[in-house]
Amino acid sequence: MVKRIGKAYMDILGKFAPVAAGRRAATLFGYTRTFGNKRFKSFTPVGARLFPLPGTLGVTHGYQWNPSEKSVLLVHGWGGDCSTMYSFVPSLVRAGFQVATFDAPAHGTSPGRVTTMMHFSETVRDAMLSLGNIVAVVAHSIGAITSVGAIAKLAHTHQIKALCLLAPPASLACVIDRWSNGCLHLSDDVVRQMKTELLRRNGVPVQHWDIITLGKDMRIPMLIMHDPADTVVPLCDAEIIAASLPQAILEKVPGGGQHLGILSNTYVIERTCRFVTEHARMSVPKP
């Protein structure tokens, strides 16, 4: 019922005021919390301690386990929170790594209900700078795009040794196409206006957020894992990334739990830990 009302509203607004409709669509796309899903109460996960973040985007801290010289950063997806990545903590700690994560802007315990790709990516960057000893990043869904964006910005000062992408969309443009053609069925004109508004909010065009483009100069070993039955992000996105980046390998995980369940799949967790452990011992290749 709510979706039908929303579609009818956007249809009318799109016909008579496409610019306003595009702005509204950009805001709807930026929502990180479902109806009734309020900001979580702040708490420190069991066994974790806080590490500081600048707080300029409302994210003042993250969480870390097992102080060590080598850290692995876990990055959750859009609409999720850092708790979705906790399943990777025990294995990585047993392997000797410090493990760190955070709630992105307008996610989990962080304030707000709407954010942007740029703000998300800047928080990934801030976490990497704050910790300073990141050797690997494990990122889920849209968090994969924002993480690759942050890693690309820090390529000359913070070269990591391994990157694991779980159920990643190939680009933000792909995500928007699927979203706009979904329950709202936005017109082409409204989608164009939406992308113009997202350019204004992010400072870069939608096409900027593309794993292939952002990762083309990287020499970081990349493991992509994807459940072929994923109904949120299709397998073809992972296949496109793997086919376009020579440093990337794709492992299909049939029965992996689809889009969110892949984060608790035992094989995925163990394979991620093995991949990170193997490459964290290697020297970083020159760009």
What is the pLDDT averaged over residues 159-168?
96
Please indicate, yes or no, whether the overall pTM of this predicted structure exceeds 0.75.
yes
Contact between residue 126 and residue 54 where contact means Cβ atoms under 8 Å apart = yes
Provide the pLDDT for residue 75. Answer: 98
Q: What percent of the chain has pLDDT over 90?
A: 73
Nearest 5 degrees, angle CA 35-CA 86-CA 120? 55
pLDDT bin (cut points 50, 70, 90) of residue 284 is very low
Q: What is the pLDDT of residues 126-143, one digit of tens each?
A: 999 999 899 999 999 999
CA-nearest of 185, 186, 182, 170 to 234 is: 170
pLDDT bin (cut points 50, 70, 90) of residue 3 is low
Q: 225: part of which helix (H) or strand (E)?
A: strand 222-226
Q: Return d(Cα 259, Cα 261) in angstroms, integer.
A: 6
Q: What is the pLDDT of residues 18-29, one digit of tens each?
A: 788 889 999 989
pLDDT bin (cut points 50, 70, 90) of residue 106 is very high
Tell me the domains of the chain and their CATH numbers. Answer: 1-30+172-208 (no CATH), 49-171+209-287 (3.40.50.1820)
pLDDT bin (cut points 50, 70, 90) of residue 185 is confident
Q: Residue 250 pairs with which residues in a beta bridge? A: 224
Q: Return d(Cα 145, Cα 240) in angstroms, integer.
A: 14
Phi, psi of 52 (to 5 degrees): -80, 145
Tokens 């400072």 sit on residue: 203
Q: Taking 50 as the threshold, does the pLDDT of residue 224 lie above it?
A: yes
Q: Taking 80 as the threshold, does the pLDDT of residue 98 lie above it?
A: yes
pLDDT bin (cut points 50, 70, 90) of residue 53 is very high
Provide the pLDDT for residue 193. Answer: 94
Q: 223: part of which helix (H) or strand (E)?
A: strand 222-226
Q: Return d(Cα 136, Cα 147) in angstroms, integer.
A: 11
Provide the pLDDT for residue 287. Answer: 41
Q: Which DSSP string corresponds to 210-240?
A: BHHHHHTT----EEEEE-TT-SSS-HHHHHH
Contact between residue 219 and residue 160 where contact means Cβ atoms under 8 Å apart = no
What is the pLDDT averaged over residues 243-256?
95
Strands 134-140 and 71-75, by their bridges, are parallel
